Amino acid sequence: MEAFAIRAQEMGLDVSKAYKGMYSYEDRFGEVVYRQLMTDTSPGNPVEKEDETDNLVFPYLAVFTKFPDIINYNYIGYVSNLYKFVGNDTLCQNIIRAINATGNPVLKENTMFSLFRARMRNELILQSGVEVPVAGDVLPLMVINNGYNGTRAASLSFGLATAWNDTYVTFSFKLGEIRMVHVVSSQTSMTTSVTQYVELFQENITEMITESFNKRVSESEMFATLDLVEALGKRRRERIADLLSDPQNLTAWGMFLAIIKYSSFEPNLNVKRMLENIAQSVLVIPARMHDVLEELESE
């Protein structure tokens, strides 16, 4: 793979300051800057002889981000010269266009970031929902993940959103996640994947919720699940346990809801994703839905 500097413009970065080893990208979410790392050449003692290690260029770039309308930049790490950059809004707009092409426009967008915007999670709730007797209105969800410091690949995952207290609680399947650094140049396949999930959602979500609602969870199963949550922190376990009002009548759907209601307000993106993985393990996923999600994941 060619070096970062050679691919920078192709990846959508501003190369106007490439002469000083600087590449940047700015959108509605903020700005990111990549700077070539090299040894310090600032003068110390004027008569000091230049050291052999001066002016050495490393195969890495420092990464800085800043919020919109804020002057100060934040250092968030470094990436290899082989790193492949994808801009947050470039990624989001390509997927939104793919969604619009299916005739199912976005109803609501919710964007979350990790510290200093190193990673993004952008949730897109679609209008084409279904009404499930035991759950009310349930809508399909597309979740876009991206990162600027090499800790998160660009990806799209599928999920669902349910109404709760005049807002939505959201859940993203780990199964079916598409790693898609290639999505910018692959609009057709992305539209196909979105269409396939919307159809799958409308055909299978009622069965998934109904079967999960009817599946009783034993007390030992409940505590085993809470033990998984406790690995992420004792307070999280206690708060989710508080949402499980009657263990004797507990269902898989009830436990699933308790976890995603808590995770919807979890600020740590890594923990939120782990909670979603635990919630997914509780659900009863119909065989056809499971198979299609696996198929999407392998694309």
pLDDT 10s digits, 199-217: 999 999 999 999 999 999 9
Q: Are 273 and 157 in a shared domain?
A: yes
Q: What is the pTM of this model?
A: 0.90
What's the sign of the alpha-carbon dihedral 185, 272, 207, 99? Answer: negative
Q: Are 138 and 73 in a shared domain?
A: no
* Dist. CA 117–CA 124, nearest whole Å: 19
Q: Are 50 and 179 in a shared domain?
A: no
- Mean of the pLDDT values across residues 249-272? 92
Question: What values do phi and psi take at 289, rounded to 5?
Answer: -65, -40
| Closest C-alpha to 144, from 113, 167, 166, 115 | 113
Q: Are 20 and 143 in a shared domain?
A: no
Q: Tokens representing 156?
A: 């799209």
**pLDDT at residue 184 in the model:** 47
Q: Which residue has the tokens 């659900």?
A: 283
pLDDT tier, 40 (very low <50, low <70, confident <90, very high otherwise): confident
* Number of structural domains found in the chain: 2
Q: Are 56 and 192 in a shared domain?
A: no
Q: Are 195 and 110 in a shared domain?
A: yes
Q: Are 95 and 237 in a shared domain?
A: yes
| Closest C-alpha to 1, from 84, 87, 91 | 84
- Boundary-marking domain end, from 59, 80, 101: 80
Task: Quote the percentage of the chain above a pLDDT of 90.
Answer: 70
- Boundary-marking domain end, from 20, 49, 80: 80
Dmax over Cα atoms in the chain, in whole Å?
82
- Boundary-marking domain end, from 48, 80, 112: 80
Q: Are 27 and 101 in a shared domain?
A: no
Q: Are 263 and 163 in a shared domain?
A: yes
State yes or no: pLDDT of 103 exceeds 70: yes
The three-class DSSP label of residue 293 is helix
Beta strands per DSSP E along 11-56: 22-27, 30-38
Q: Are 64 and 98 in a shared domain?
A: no
Q: Are 239 and 281 in a shared domain?
A: yes
**pLDDT at residue 187 in the model:** 54
* Dist. CA 176–CA 291, nearest whole Å: 9
Q: Are 28 and 131 in a shared domain?
A: no
Which residue segment(s) compose the domain that 152 sits in?
88-297
Contact 284, 208 (CB under 8 A): yes
